[in-house]
């Protein structure tokens, strides 16, 4: 099907913005991060929101904790934001996390991990795992249940959620019940058919994604490492059940779907849902989309069932 009619009018400006990011210097990237984030017309209400500083692998990290209405202890969801490992943060994904908190009735901990190129791989992956370990250790004080834990993320955050699940399995701690991966990059080689089919014109371009990977890895010889490209991990067995969401007009579509297929082949209970007519990032676009609402409800339902 064609690109959704509500997205088409804003694609030109979105494509120009992405093209400008690829040409940005390190200094300009810093300025882009400091730019204002347009708030939604009305924020999704939750019972409470708190920013907290926690220990990290290279200094303190900031996390934002969202608490649901209802009595606890609640399930616990660690959320990792997208932005190509380079951009975005707690504010850019505040509304998405509020919706996630509402739909899951879980305590959601959003992680402000270190960004590239100043802090390249494995900084973000290390921060996300450290935040997971901290949150589980402090679950009681958060009003959460340390035995009902999941990870979730969109775009680069989807990669980090998958990588965090791999690391938790490898280190045998913490035990995760579920992973929700929203249009995740799972293979830094960037060589799937969807990279050719949707190379440009749909917001996230093939050129931009390769640039993001270069900022994150610095050395593309790292591309096949399992904690970089989970699709290339030699063993995916023993991972928590997964929901993988992809978009039709997204260069990352095929690798996300291949990862879902690889998880299922390894015996991991996996659900895959492709949103036709959608582009990368549709869950956070500045337009109201029924499919974005549906995706959030779908994530919420999967997490509620997995964490019940």
Residues annotated as catalytic are 155, 250, 280
Place of tokens 């929203």: 182
Give the β-pairing of 270-279 and 242-249: parallel
CA 247 and chain centroid, separation: 14
* Cα 207 from Cα 123, distance rounded (Å): 23
Q: Are 273 and 243 in contact (CB under 8 A)?
A: yes
- Proportion of the chain in helix, strand, coil states, percent, rounded to 5: 40, 20, 40
Residue 15, both tokens:
């494509």
Instruction: Please choose, from the candidates 66, 178, 58, the residue with its C-alpha nearest in 3D space to the C-alpha of residue 123.
Output: 58
């Amino acid at each position: 099907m064609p690109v959704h009619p509500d997205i088409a009018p804003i694609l030109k400006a979105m494509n120009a913005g992405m093209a400008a990011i690829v040409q940005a210097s390190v200094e300009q990237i810093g300025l882009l991060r400091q730019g204002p984030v347009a708030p939604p017309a009305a924020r999704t209400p939750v019972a409470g929101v708190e920013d907290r500083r926690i220990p990290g692998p290279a200094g303190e990290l900031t996390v934002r904790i969202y608490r649901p209405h209802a009595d606890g202890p609640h399930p616990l969801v660690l959320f990792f934001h997208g932005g190509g490992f380079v951009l975005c943060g707690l504010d850019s994904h505040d509304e998405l996390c509020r919706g996630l908190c509402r739909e899951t009735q879980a305590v959601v901990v959003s992680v402000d991990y270190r960004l590239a190129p100043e802090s390249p791989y494995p900084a973000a992956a290390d921060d996300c795992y450290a935040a997971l370990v901290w949150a589980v250790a402090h679950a009681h004080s958060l009003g959460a249940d340390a035995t009902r834990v999941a990870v979730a993320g969109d775009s680069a955050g989807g990669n980090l959620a998958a990588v965090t699940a791999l690391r938790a399995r490898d280190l045998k701690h913490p035990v995760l019940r579920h992973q929700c991966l929203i249009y995740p990059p799972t293979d830094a080689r960037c060589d799937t058919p969807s990279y050719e089919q949707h190379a440009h014109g749909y917001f996230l371009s093939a050129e931009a994604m390769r640039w993001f990977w270069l900022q994150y890895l610095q050395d593309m010889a790292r591309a096949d490492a399992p904690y970089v490209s989970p699709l290339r991990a030699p063993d995916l067995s023993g991972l928590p059940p997964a929901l993988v969401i992809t978009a039709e007009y997204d260069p990352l579509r095929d690798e996300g779907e291949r990862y879902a297929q690889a998880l299922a082949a390894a015996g991991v209970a996996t659900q895959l849902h492709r949103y036709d007519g959608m582009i990368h990032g549709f869950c956070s676009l500045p337009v109201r989309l029924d499919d974005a609402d549906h995706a959030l409800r779908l994530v919420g339902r999967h997490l509620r069932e997995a964490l019940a």
